[in-house]
Amino acid sequence: MIYHSIVGLIVWLAATLLFRFYGQVFFTTDEILYAVLFIVLGPVCWGFMVLYLGILNVLPENRALAAVSFVLPGMALDALVTANFALVFPNLDISLDAKFGALMLFAYASALFGGYSSDRRVRKQLTLRLENVAAP
């Protein structure tokens, strides 16, 4: 599971650098754009986790744990980033700190749900296949 933590750390670093240098382009005080970010980010994070776990052929019984291992470093580091928002993101309006924290929590929750739902979906598919094989 350490592999998933390292990959999660790399993805967190890339996302943080993206916000650091280009955040002002898509993360503004505009409420409509903020709502669109929420609408888009949930399915994207969910789908990313499902694809990530599927591409790596993570066993169904390990998918939820792999998702937790993936998001845990980023969640811990984003707590520090949110607490030091003005220092980490001088290009963004300081009033966006709470919205950034909420957006990140939502993204991590969506990714965790992707790992959990992928686990359940794959288990159900395996159960159906085994029932079909066992049936005469």
C-beta separation of 111 from 42 below 8 A: no
What is the per-residue pLDDT across 55-87, written as a single tens digit (0 to 9) for each? 999 988 889 999 999 999 999 999 999 999 999
Distance CA 108, CA 89 (A): 20
Q: Check residue 135 and give left, alpha or beta (phi > 0: left; psi -120 to 50: alpha).
A: beta
Return the closest-CA partner of residue 61 out of 119, 1, 102.
119
Q: Would you kindly state where each structural domain of the chain is located, as residue ranges?
A: 2-134
Q: pLDDT tens-digit profile of 111-130?
A: 999 998 877 766 777 677 77
Comparing C-alpha atoms, which of 72, 42, 51, 55 is closest to residue 115? 51
